[in-house]
Structure 1
Amino acid sequence: MTSKMLTPLALYEQVAEQLRQRIFRQELEPGVWIDELKIAEEFGISRTPMREALKVLATEGLVTMKLRRGAYVTEVSRKDISDVYHLLSLLEADAASEVAGKASDEELQRLKQIHDELKQQTANSDRFFALNESFHMEILEIANNRWRIQLVADLRKVMKLNRHKSLFKQGRIEDSLAEHDAIMQALLERQPHIAMNAVKQHFRNGLEAAV
């Protein structure tokens, strides 16, 4: 594995991001013990920023710290996934309702551009996942509640531990895009109640695929 030297500025945050991406790519799989010494040596750092990085990931739910055993990539149960989807449904449906009622034409067009590009990226999984998340997060940005944005961002990190299993199920990408179409249409027509229900349906269907 190639060594990746990191700069001193906010070193533990850089280490956390490196590990976060490895977890999302499942290079570090759920349940795997994280070898602190090996990774610290690979990055050319001491164990102090490594431990601080692991604390950050633990607060995000991506890493589980076990007494006298070290850090492990979090394994998510069916209940964990169900709980995360439930909260995301509530928070994002509420945001969509607000966006339908107050977004500017320019904001909705920006959102539609993301949606349109998403539909063109079904063959590129990494780009598809990135745009899919951008679509959801753009709705929250337009709604402009920083506490809701923070909560959703953290919940989505946990959801990514399971995302490949859900969207790669036969037909799920196509169904997901159709659900996005319904959300986008409700927003463009400025129908708050319909937008809210479309988001809730999107998450209900996503949960069925995830578990």
Structure 2
Amino acid sequence: MRVVLNSLHDEVASRLRERIFAGELAPGGFLDEPALCAEMGISRTPLREALKVLTAEGLLRHEPRRGCFVAEITERDLDEIFPVIALLEGRCAFEAATHASDAELAALAHLHDKLERAARARRINEYYAVNFAIHEAIITLADNRWLAQVIGDLRKILKLARLQQLHAPGRLEQSLSEHLAVFAALKARDAEGAEAAMRTHLTRQRVALRELARQQKSRLSA
């Protein structure tokens, strides 16, 4: 019976996580537990277990005597998270340069070809998808489950912000150049160079996001 319960609350957590990432459950929004139970056809127990999981992941915040709310990501949160994830993914690039086989680097080359085609055609949604696949591939090549776990947790938080840094002027071309620099270091087995290039790539993402936020604020105040 316990196995069934665990499986159910994991499924409920997954469904709620997807709705949060899709924006169906908006940042700051209150989670109406009775309504969710009725909608999902479940009892309070698996729902509450799922809410605990999502709260531990940072996707929800729990307020005593009030309930759960979808977490909101602030500019300060982004300022604090990006340096950390830059360090972690930089280390992944370092370890990938050390561990990756020639065949694995050839597969990564194929992804970078797709990235270049998407950038030239300015297909931003496709670029985002390939960009994500490249980051995931480098994390996998690092073969360090602790790095992968912590990065995965931080990425969930960043996903809440629905970041669109490629819409900043010139950012698409800059991002492609940064990716190619990381890949060049990986091919050269330059672990320190790959680490530095990846950290630069993620640091510049934050710079682009900050500039977008500044532009949006300027437009609203005009």
Task: State the TM bucket, normalised to the shorter chain.
Answer: 0.7 to 0.9
- Residue 68 of structure 1 corresponds to 65
CA displacement at 1:129 relative to structure 2: 3.7
Gaps spanning 5+ residues in structure 1: where? 1-6
Shift of 1:200: 1.0
Cα 1:36–1:116 shift into 2, 3 Å: farther
Identity over aligned residues, as a percent? 41
**Stretch deviating more after TM superposition (112-121 or 137-146):** 112-121
Within 5 A, what are the aligned runs for 1:1-211?
Answer: 10-121=7-118, 123=123, 125=125, 128-211=127-210
Aligned partner of 2:217 in structure 1 is none
Deviations 1:12-56 (A, max 9, x none): 111111111111121212111112222221111112111111111
Distance 1:168 1:8, change over 3 A: farther
Flag the 1:150–1:172 CA change in 2: closer, same or farther, 3 A.
same
The separation in 1 between residues aligned to 2:162 and 2:177, in whole angstroms, is 18
TM-score (normalizing by structure 1): 0.87
- CA pair 193-79 structure 1, distance change in 2 beyond 3 A: same
State the Cα distance separating 1:120 from its structure 2 match. 4.3
- Measure how far apart 1:128 and its partner are: 4.3
Structure-2 change in CA distance of 1:55 and 1:118 (3 Å): farther
CA-to-partner distance for each residue in 1:43-77, whole Å, 9 max, x for gaps?
11112111111111111111111111111111112
Kept in 2: contact 1:36–1:47 (CA 8 A): yes
Paired residues of 1:162 and 1:210 also in contact (CA < 8 A):
no
What SS class does the counterpart of residue 61 from structure 2 fall into?
A: strand
Letter in 2 for 1:202: H
My pick for the range that moved more, 114-123 or 132-141, is: 114-123
Relative to structure 1, is the Cα distance of residues 189 and 55 closer, same or farther in structure 2, using a 3 angstrom cutoff?
A: same
In 1, Cα distance between the equivalents of 2:172 and 2:30?
A: 32
In structure 2, C-alpha distance between the alignment counterparts of 1:70 and 1:9, rounded to whole Å: 22
Q: Is the 8 A contact 1:81 1:210 kept in 2?
A: no
Of residues 33-42 and 165-174 in structure 1, the stretch that sits farther from structure 2 once superposed is 165-174
Distance in 2 of aligned mates of 1:66 and 1:136: 35
Aligned to 1:3: none
Aligned CA-pair RMSD: 2.1
TM-score by length of 2: 0.83
How big is the shift at 1:124?
Answer: 6.1
The one-letter code matched in structure 1 to 2:48 is R
Report the AA paired with residue 71 of structure 2.
T
| Aligned residues of 2:124 and 2:166 also touching (Cα < 8 A) | no
CA contact (8 A) 2:181 2:197 kept: yes
Contact 1:64 1:73 in 2 (8 A): yes
Measured in 2, the distance between the counterparts of 1:130 and 1:32 equals 28
